[in-house]
């Protein structure tokens, strides 16, 4: 799909400043940028133009993952994050260097055992080898009288965060999820969890989320409330993408004609 870009130069500049602050590990920098706008306001083309800019102008080149939530996949918990891990593995860095099951079991099994079964390079053998780890965890949970659901959420979220930090050790990481108005509950919870926890440590991880304003209010109010809270805590930056002006549309038409 070809993306036309016009009328969003100011927003693009703000996105580049956001990334540069993370790349330089500027103190008190938010790791989350939110793009809010109605359908057709140019959010997706802005994301495409921004990520293309990162690939050509920044060294080391960041690992960039861009995915979208789908209206008809809300029953598939965490699906955007599974897709992101597969994208990062194909780009190089930490995940791509794992060449055999033994390495995978040793490294990823220690960092994020709860995510093993869903990664494309994992076979049943690896999933079975970490069963012992999970059983030991469950025994610890019982000894400490923790609620299983509470521990499951905490473990899954924290393990993904650890894996994300591991991936970013060699290259900065850019994680983009578009159409968050259609995010399943678990995806929304994990996304906001990562945004809350990342500022606690030095890292080069940029989170970008985009959503349709009207649909977000009706379809995913809990995630919208989480974003509002993050913004109040100065842990998120929101860019409101306005409708295109007549001049913007004229510029787009000229770009298309050329």
Q: Which of 153, 163, 54 is nearest to 109 (CA)?
A: 163
Q: Are residues 31 and 113 in the same domain?
A: no
pLDDT at residue number 66? 96
Query: Are 85 and 158 in the same domain?
Result: yes
113 and 170, same domain (yes or no) = yes
Of 71-80, 98-107, 234-243, the range with the lowest mean pLDDT is 98-107
Q: How far apart are CA 20 and CA 26, in angstroms?
A: 9
The pLDDT value given to residue 122 = 43
Structure tokens at 120: 């494309």
92-123 confidence digits (pLDDT tens): 666 666 555 566 556 666 777 777 655 544 44
Does residue 105 sit in the same domain as residue 172?
yes
Count structural domains, the chain.
Answer: 2
Within a domain: residue 146?
A: yes
185 part of a folded domain: no
> Of residues 231 and 8, which shows the higher confidence score?
231
- Please check whether residues 88 and 48 belong to one and the same domain: no
Residue at a domain's end among 150, 177, 204: 177
Poorest-pLDDT segment among 104-108, 213-217, 226-230, 237-241: 104-108
Res 135: pLDDT: 52
- In a domain? residue 66: no
Query: Edge-to-edge strands of the sheet including 205-212?
Result: 63-68, 173-178, 205-212, 32-37, 237-240
| pLDDT tens digits for range 158-199 | 889 988 998 888 889 999 999 999 999 999 999 999 999 998
Domain assignment present for residue 10? The answer is yes
**Which two three-digit tokens encode residue 33?**
């940028």
Give the pLDDT of residue 134.
45
244 falls within a domain: no
Bridging pattern class, strands 205-212 and 173-178: parallel
Of 37, 53, 69, which closes a domain?
53
Cα 91 → chain centroid? 16
> Which of 20-24, 39-43, 70-74 tops mean pLDDT?
20-24
Lowest mean pLDDT, pick from 15-29, 78-92, 203-217: 78-92
Q: Which residue has the tokens 């924290």?
A: 158
| CB count in 10 Å sphere of residue 169 | 11
135 and 169 share one domain: yes
Cβ–Cβ under 8 Å, residues 118 and 166: no
Residues 87 and 159 in one domain: yes
- Per-residue pLDDT for 216 more than 90? yes
What is the predicted pLDDT for the residue at 97? 61
Q: 119 lies in a domain?
A: yes
Tell whether 29 and 110 lie within a shared domain.
no
In this structure, are 49 and 93 located in the same domain?
A: no
More confident residue, 159 or 244: 159
Average per-residue pLDDT for the chain:
79
First to last CA, the chain: 17
Query: Is the same domain home to 23 and 86?
Result: no
Q: Which domain holds residue 132?
A: 79-177
| Weakest mean pLDDT among 13-17, 86-90, 100-104 | 100-104
Q: Looking at the structure, tell me whether residues 86 and 164 fall in a common domain.
A: yes
Q: Which of these three, 148, 177, 206, is where a domain ends?
A: 177
Query: Does a structural domain hold residue 12?
Result: yes
Do residue 108 and residue 44 come from a single domain?
no
Q: Is residue 8 part of a domain?
A: yes
- The rounded percent of the chain whose pLDDT value lies above 90 is 40
* pLDDT bracket for residue 21 (50, 70, 90): very high
């Amino acid at each position: 799909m070809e993306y036309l870009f016009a009328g969003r130069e100011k927003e693009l500049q703000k996105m580049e400043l956001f990334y540069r602050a993370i790349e330089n590990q500027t103190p008190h920098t938010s790791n989350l940028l939110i793009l809010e706008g109605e359908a057709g306001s140019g959010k997706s083309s802005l994301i495409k133009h921004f990520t293309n800019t990162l690939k050509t102008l920044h060294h080391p080149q960041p690992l960039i993952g861009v995915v979208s939530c789908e209206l008809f996949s809300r029953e598939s918990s965490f699906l955007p994050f599974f897709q992101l891990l597969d994208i990062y593995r194909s780009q190089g860095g930490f995940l791509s260097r794992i060449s055999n099951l033994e390495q995978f079991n040793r490294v990823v099994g220690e960092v994020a055992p709860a995510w093993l079964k869903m990664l494309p390079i994992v076979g049943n053998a690896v999933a079975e080898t970490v069963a012992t780890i999970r059983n030991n965890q469950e025994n610890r949970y019982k000894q400490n009288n923790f609620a299983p659901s509470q521990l499951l959420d905490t473990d899954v979220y924290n393990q993904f965060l650890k894996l994300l930090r591991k991936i970013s050790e060699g290259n900065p990481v850019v994680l983009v999820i578009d159409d968050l108005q259609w995010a399943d509950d678990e995806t929304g919870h994990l996304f906001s969890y990562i945004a809350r926890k990342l500022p606690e440590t030095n890292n080069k991880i940029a989170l970008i989320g985009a959503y349709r304003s009207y649909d977000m209010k009706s379809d995913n109010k809990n995630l919208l409330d989480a974003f509002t809270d993050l913004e109040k805590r100065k842990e998120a930056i929101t860019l409101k993408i306005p409708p295109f002006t007549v001049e913007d549309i004229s510029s787009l038409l000229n770009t298309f004609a050329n």
